[in-house]
């Protein structure tokens, strides 16, 4: 009886957010009279770090220090609309919404500053909270002074901007060829997971020693949060690969593990070495080129561990989680000469027609049909 | 029943079989310890009872009569953080934050017991605390940083650590 080492690879592509219209985020930004920026966005941060990322996006798009920006997501009743925190959409869709709003605020600040400095707004720019003339930085005025003047001297204006981002339907221009008028997907992220494991052929136990994770996320707005998303996703993927299942009657909750003693989530002692690589291949539509890195970070570990088991002991275990029982049964079959050929799960074959119908609207006059009520 | 919570003594009205967690949250309004699994499996209700990390969901009040209880609130405040809280903040050791009250109190107790733990010892000591967000890596980094004696001053705390990576084209 021995332990066998193996290594497996899986690759993932991940579409950001939902693409068939209807997945929108709105935001509203107000510039207070002292220059502080309040961002009201529908996006709720559930630990994914979107609040911090939005703060950075607004600061960068507006041209003020990050410290000036507050993101308030405390009340979903008072906030602008957002469909939710899912599908890795917060930075991409929510981030675009706050970026558009911030750009409108910036535009208005430049207009007012242009009047105050008697310069064409097109010749002005904002950096680090200061509006100045391009090429003549000595002609400048602080953003907080502009906001103050707008409030107290120029008629009491509250400088504000709204932003909405939604990926519209792709319209089918030609039924024959399926030609469509736009890229139907907002952005595609790509990832790969390599698992290095050890299988005990006596107990069927699989131990992951190391994961190597590579993700193309477009642009890392906050690299530390991206790191956290990838590490967190990897450990969640480890759970999906080896431990977690809603047995035995999924999706019925009957008789399934009701607590963490019977529904096993990975703990700190299960932690393998996690190495990762973050590739930045910017998206055309994403805020500063960002794509997504939330949900896809836990998609690759199941298949990469399964492939590594095949590499180690020569059997395909085709159901997740890859429990010792399933590994042993596969080994027994192999020993009995019933080594079943690789059984594929659900094959998702790319069907161009189905795909276009899923993301496209055949009727060119399709209106916005999403009704939250 | 008398207990001292974060330095203040309280005479409790809850029945003796009430869990310490419920007494803290419902009677004393100390809501730092979270109600997670209520079965001792997840660790987020962990408090220090006379300096020892304990699952407050499993402790009847009768067993902590006269004890000194420290919750996450007793370690530090947002303005004056305990070094462990500051390290969790600086190292992004918390994402949704639900496990943090237990993780941090247990980490403080670990370093009291063993000021220079190895990575493996940290993993074993915090092995009963479940975190679904961070993948644990940054939590271990934070505990190691405190053990190394790293300190985090106010300036570093208010700085967004990603600030240095403010998006390119900031003033395009």
Look up tokens 């309040």; give the residue. A38
Domain limits of chain A?
A: 3-16+187-335, 24-166
B99 shares its domain with B150: yes
A350 pLDDT tier (thresholds 50, 70, 90): low
Which of B124, B130, B162 has the CB atom closest to A222's CB atom?
Answer: B162
pLDDT in tens, A27-37: 999 999 999 99
Contact call for residues A278 and A220 (beta carbons, < 8 A) = yes
Question: What is the spatial distance between Cα B56 and Cα B35, in angstroms, rounded to a whole number?
Answer: 9
Residue that finishes a domain, picked among B75, B91, B122: B75
B62 shares its domain with B114: no
- How many domains would you assign to chain B? 2
Q: What is the nearest CA distance from B98 to chain A, expressed in angstroms?
A: 9
CA distances to A31, A34, A127, A128, B160 from B170, in Å:
18, 21, 8, 9, 16
Flag whether B44 is in a domain.
Answer: yes
Flag whether B167 is in a domain.
Answer: no
Give strand ranges (E) for A254-347.
Answer: 273-279
pLDDT at A339 over 70: no
Same fold across A3-16+187-335 and A24-166: yes
Q: What is the nearest CA distance from B13 to chain A, expressed in angstroms?
A: 30
Contact call for residues A2 and A74 (beta carbons, < 8 A) = no
Q: What is the ipTM of this complex?
A: 0.87
Residue that finishes a domain, picked among B75, B101, B116: B75
B149 shares its domain with B107: yes
Residues 6+ apart with CB under 8 A from A357: none
Q: Look over chain A and give the mean of its residue pLDDT values, rounded to a whole number.
A: 87
B65 shares its domain with B90: no
Per-residue pLDDT at B153? 62
pLDDT at A182 over 90: no
Per-residue pLDDT at A256? 79
Using CA coordinates, name the residue in chain A closest to B38: A259
Residues 6+ apart with CB under 8 A from A75: none
- Structure letter (DSSP) for residue B48: E
The CATH number of the domain holding residue B143 is 1.10.150.120
A124 contacts on B by Cβ (under 8 Å): none
pLDDT at A150 over 70: yes
Give, for A97, the enclosing helix (H) or strand (E). helix A95-117
Interface with B, mutate which of A44, A243, A267 (most B CBs under 10 A):
A267
Buried b (16+ CB within 10 A) or exposed e, A104-137: bbbebbbebbbebbebebeebbbeebbbbbeeee
Per-residue pLDDT at A361? 52
Flag whether B168 is in a domain.
Answer: no
B117 pLDDT tier (thresholds 50, 70, 90): very high
Contact call for residues A49 and B95 (beta carbons, < 8 A) = yes
Q: What is the nearest CA distance from A81 to chain B, expressed in angstroms?
A: 22
Residue that finishes a domain, picked among B20, B47, B75: B75
pLDDT at B82 over 70: yes
User: Do B39 and A126 lie within an 8 Å CB cutoff?
Assistant: no
Q: Quote the domain boundaries for residue B118.
A: 83-160
Which of B39, B124, B166 has the CB atom closest to A259's CB atom?
Answer: B39
Architecture of domain A24-166: 2-Layer Sandwich (3.30)
A346 pLDDT tier (thresholds 50, 70, 90): low
B29 shares its domain with B58: yes
Residues 6+ apart with CB under 8 A from B112: B51
B129 and A CB contact within 8 Å: yes
Question: What is the spatial distance between Cα B57 and Cα B46, in angstroms, rounded to a whole number?
Answer: 8
Percentage of chain B modeled with pLDDT above 70: 88
The CATH number of the domain holding residue B11 is 3.10.20.30
pLDDT at A349 over 60: no
Question: What is the spatial distance between Cα B82 and Cα B103, in angstroms, rounded to a whole number?
Answer: 13
Mean pLDDT over residues A274-279, rounded? Answer: 91
CA distances to A138, A257, B127 from A109, in Å:
18, 57, 52
A57 contacts on B by Cβ (under 8 Å): 167
pLDDT at B142 over 70: yes
Question: What is the spatial distance between Cα A328 and Cα A206, in angstroms, rounded to a whole number?
Answer: 11
B71 shares its domain with B90: no
A223 contacts on B by Cβ (under 8 Å): 162, 165
Which of A60, A268, A287 has the CB atom closest to B126's CB atom?
Answer: A268
Per-residue pLDDT at A359? 54
Question: What is the spatial distance between Cα A162 and Cα A27, in angstroms, rounded to a whole number?
Answer: 6
Interface with A, mutate which of B135, B156, B165, B172 (most A CBs under 10 A):
B135
Please tell me whether residue A325 adopts helix, strand or coil conformation.
helix
Lowest-pLDDT choice from A75-89, A296-310, B153-167: B153-167
Prior bond to A342 cis, omega within 30? no
Beta-bridged to residue B4, according to DSSP, are: B9, B68
User: Do B135 and A223 lie within an 8 Å CB cutoff?
Assistant: no
A370 pLDDT tier (thresholds 50, 70, 90): very low
A63 contacts on B by Cβ (under 8 Å): 170-171
Mean pLDDT over residues B82-86, rounded? Answer: 93
Mean pLDDT over residues B32-36, rounded? Answer: 96
B88 shares its domain with B64: no
A338 pLDDT tier (thresholds 50, 70, 90): confident
- Identify the CATH assignment for A3-16+187-335 out of 3.40.50.1000, 3.30.365.10, 3.30.2010.10, 3.40.50.300: 3.30.365.10
């Amino acid at each position: 009886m021995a332990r066998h080492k193996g290594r497996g690879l899986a690759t993932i592509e991940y579409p950001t957010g939902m693409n068939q219209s209807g997945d929108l985020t709105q935001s509203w930004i107000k510039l207070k009279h002292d220059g502080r920026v309040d961002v009201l966005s529908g996006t709720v941060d559930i630990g994914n770090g979107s609040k911090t990322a939005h703060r950075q996006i607004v600061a960068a798009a507006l041209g003020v220090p990050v410290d000036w920006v507050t993101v308030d997501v405390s009340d979903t009743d008072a906030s602008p609309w957002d469909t939710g925190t899912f599908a890795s959409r917060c930075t991409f869709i929510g981030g675009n919404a706050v970026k558009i709003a911030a750009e409108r605020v910036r535009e208005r600040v430049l207009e007012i500053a242009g009047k105050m400095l008697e310069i064409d707004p097109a010749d002005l720019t904002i950096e680090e909270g200061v509006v100045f003339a391009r090429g003549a930085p000595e002609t400048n005025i602080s953003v907080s002074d502009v906001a103050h003047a707008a409030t107290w001297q120029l008629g009491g204006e509250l400088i504000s901007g709204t932003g909405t981002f939604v990926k519209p339907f792709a319209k089918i221009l030609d039924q024959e060829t399926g030609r469509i008028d736009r890229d139907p997907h907002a952005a595609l992220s790509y990832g790969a997971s390599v698992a290095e494991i050890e299988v005990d052929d006596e107990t069927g136990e699989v131990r992951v020693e190391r994961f190597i994770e590579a993700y193309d996320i477009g642009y890392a707005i906050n690299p530390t949060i991206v790191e956290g998303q990838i590490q967190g996703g990897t450990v969640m993927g480890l759970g999906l690969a080896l431990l977690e299942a809603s047995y035995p009657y999924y999706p019925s909750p009957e008789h399934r593990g009701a607590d963490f003693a019977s529904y096993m989530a990975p703990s700190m002692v299960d932690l393998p070495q996690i190495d990762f690589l973050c590739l930045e291949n910017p998206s055309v539509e994403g805020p500063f080129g960002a794509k997504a890195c939330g949900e896809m970070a836990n998609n690759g570990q199941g298949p990469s561990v399964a492939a590594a088991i095949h590499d180690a002991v020569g059997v395909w275990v085709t159901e997740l989680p890859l429990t010792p029982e399933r590994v042993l049964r596969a080994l027994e079959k192999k020993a009995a000469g019933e080594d079943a050929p690789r059984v594929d799960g659900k094959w998702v074959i790319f069907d161009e027609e189905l795909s276009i119908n899923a993301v496209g609207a055949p009727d060119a006059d399709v209106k916005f049909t999403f009704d939250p009520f | 029943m008398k207990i001292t919570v974060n330095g203040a003594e309280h005479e409790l009205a809850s029945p003796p079989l009430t869990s310490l967690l419920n007494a803290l949250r419902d009677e004393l309004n100390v809501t730092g310890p979270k109600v997670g699994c209520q079965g001792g499996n997840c660790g987020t209700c962990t408090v220090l009872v006379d300096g020892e990390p304990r699952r407050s969901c499993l402790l009847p009040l009768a067993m902590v009569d006269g004890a000194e209880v420290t919750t996450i609130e007793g370690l530090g405040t947002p303005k004056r953080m305990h070094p462990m809280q500051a390290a969790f903040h600086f190292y992004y050791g918390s994402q949704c934050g639900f496990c943090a009250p237990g993780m941090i109190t247990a980490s403080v107790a670990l370093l009291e017991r063993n000021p220079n733990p190895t990575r493996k010892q940290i993993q074993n000591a915090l092995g009963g605390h479940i975190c679904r967000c961070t993948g644990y890596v940054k939590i271990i980094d934070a505990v190691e940083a405190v053990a190394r004696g790293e300190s985090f001053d106010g300036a570093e705390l208010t700085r967004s650590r990603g600030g240095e990576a403010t998006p390119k084209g900031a003033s395009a």
